[in-house]
A and B are shown apart, each in its own frame.
Chain A
Amino acid sequence: MHVFTDTPPGGEPGRDDREPLIRAAMERAAEDAPPPPDLVPVALVRGRRRRARSRAAIGAGVAAVAALGVLGATLPMWGGGAEPVRRASAASQITPDPAPLDTSDPWLRFPVHIEPSPGESSMADLPEDELSRQRVFQNEAAAVLEGLLPKAFAPIRPVDLDVSLYQGGPDGPDYPITFSVRPKAAPGAAHADPPCTSVLEKHLRCREATLPNGITVRSVTASGDEKEGKTVTGTTLTFERRHSSVRLSVGGDDEAMVSAPVTTDQLLAVVQDAAFLELVDYADAHPMEPKEHAVRGG
């Protein structure tokens, strides 16, 4: 194709004649691109290396998942500190090696990448079938949460470190979200939760409510340390359903010093929603996370 330039015959170019110009110019530029060498052989080498790295991590990952389970179960579910959700740092969101997903899926959400700490596993270490199962669940959960939480959380994206982690918000602030459905510990293995007590001087408010569907939910709203006169507040809801302990936690952006833009009542409405409970019931029947095996709240 030959492309010629000429002076316009006159008149203001409308939108319709801008597009052909740009299309033709891009066609021309693409044709002018220096011809590439055959890129396939090197791509094969690099692709095999990527596969090998992924597989090599699986063995270590399984052990780390178990260790993470212990740590996760013993993380403070209430207390004066900030919600123990790790937010994706700016530097860790590079997403250097995301697994591509089927683009025909209308719910496709590209995951936020958090680099695992040394010795920590991530979802990328899972066997492919399990990884695929968890990603599908995360994708659906992110869509449901985005539909139920206030608009300020949109878009909600899965975090590739763990199936329970998500991140909300556009380019900033970023709101860490945890949606966890864990099989309960064996009877007798877990102590009763501590009393629901508010400690106002520590900016800690605890409240229990029985929802119309009979679920008793505990909400804990906690603020982090004050910085330049501001505190960042997040809220965690916990309840039990069938064989699982459920946790929905929404944190603020502690770099931007912005609290989670949601009220406890709004979160209570989320956990009553049929779509949310459907997710919970699915994860209860098909567990995504390891069983609790440490003392909760102890």
Chain B
Amino acid sequence: MFRRASRGTDGFEEFARAGQRRLYRTAYLLCGDADAARDLTQTTLAKLFQHWHRVRAADHPDAYARTVLTRTYMAERRRRLRDLLAHTPIAAPAPEVGPELTVTLLAALAELPPRARAMVVLRYWEDLSVETVAELLRCSPSTVKSQCSRSLATLRTRLGDARLYTTRS
């Protein structure tokens, strides 16, 4: 995803520009909403810039960025849940209008609990290993496996019995 960050003052901009689209897409799958995805990506980039010297020194700046993005998302969801419990309910963002499959997927993802949703996105969109997802979300690999299996079943049901075939143009 990202190339190794270059040294120097401008290294951040190069790093951020190279990776912002990928981060944004992951954020979009996590949030299901373009505005929220933009905010999440921007917050993530701001945090990365704040600690840029540490990010730059990391072996895998891309993994670092993904971790910050995911954990920022989880923290935000926890806050929203607390708000929901403590104050007035916050409606889940409506999926963007788009092709039917995308709408259905985003709606189905929105039905998953935040952590389960993050597991599915990291596992099947970011293509991370079970172990990496477990480490990132601070849970056991067996939890990731079982949760992903349940989530896949849920998503599969919501997406109907349609089967996808993919071709490259």
Which residues of chain A have a CB within 8 Å of any CB of chain B? 1-9, 13, 15, 17-30, 32-34, 36-40, 42-44, 46-51, 54, 90-91, 93-104, 106, 108-110, 128, 132, 155
Q: Closest CB of chain A to B132's CB: distance in Å? A: 9
Q: Closest CB of chain A to B111's CB: distance in Å? A: 14
B101 near A25 (CB under 8 angstroms)?
Answer: yes
Judged by a CB distance under 8 angstroms, whether B138 is at the interface is: yes
B155 near A91 (CB under 8 angstroms)?
Answer: no
Q: A1-B169, A95-B75 are in contact. Are A30 and B29 (CB under 8 A)?
A: yes
Judged by a CB distance under 8 angstroms, whether B163 is at the interface is: yes
Taken together as a complex, chains A and B put the C-alpha atoms of A48 and B28 apart, in Å, by 25
**8 Å CB contact of A50 from B37, B47, B156:** B47
Q: A21-B156, A44-B13, A100-B54 are in contact. Are A34 and B135 (CB under 8 A)?
A: no
Q: A30-B29, A33-B24, A39-B41 are in contact. Are A91 and B16 (CB under 8 A)?
A: no
Which residues of chain B have a CB within 8 Å of any CB of chain A? 12-13, 16-17, 20-21, 24-26, 28-29, 34, 37-38, 41-43, 45-55, 57-60, 63-64, 67-68, 71, 75, 78-79, 82, 96, 98-99, 101-102, 105-106, 120-121, 124-125, 135-136, 138, 149, 152-153, 155-156, 159, 161-169
Taken together as a complex, chains A and B put the C-alpha atoms of A15 and B124 apart, in Å, by 13
B13 near A110 (CB under 8 angstroms)?
Answer: no
Set of chain A residues within 8 Å of B163, measured between Cβ atoms: 5-9, 13, 17, 21
A/B interface sample: 6 pairs, CB < 8 A: A1-B169, A5-B164, A13-B163, A39-B20, A47-B12, A48-B49
**8 Å CB contact of A32 from B38, B96, B156:** B96
Q: A18-B156, A24-B164, A97-B47 are in contact. Are A36 and B41 (CB under 8 A)?
A: yes
Taken together as a complex, chains A and B put the C-alpha atoms of A2 and B164 apart, in Å, by 10
B28 near A47 (CB under 8 angstroms)?
Answer: no
Taken together as a complex, chains A and B put the C-alpha atoms of A128 and B167 apart, in Å, by 50
B138 near A109 (CB under 8 angstroms)?
Answer: yes
Q: Closest CB of chain A to B113's CB: distance in Å? A: 12
The list of the 10 closest CB pairs from A to B, nearest first, reads A47-B49, A43-B45, A46-B46, A5-B162, A30-B25, A50-B50, A47-B46, A33-B28, A8-B163, A29-B102
Set of chain A residues within 8 Å of B165, measured between Cβ atoms: 3-4, 6
Set of chain B residues within 8 Å of A97, measured between Cβ atoms: 47
Taken together as a complex, chains A and B put the C-alpha atoms of A11 and B138 apart, in Å, by 37
Set of chain B residues within 8 Å of A103, measured between Cβ atoms: 58, 60, 63-64, 67, 135-136
Set of chain A residues within 8 Å of B16, measured between Cβ atoms: 39-40, 43
B43 near A33 (CB under 8 angstroms)?
Answer: no
A93 near B162 (CB under 8 angstroms)?
Answer: no
Set of chain A residues within 8 Å of B24, measured between Cβ atoms: 33, 36, 39
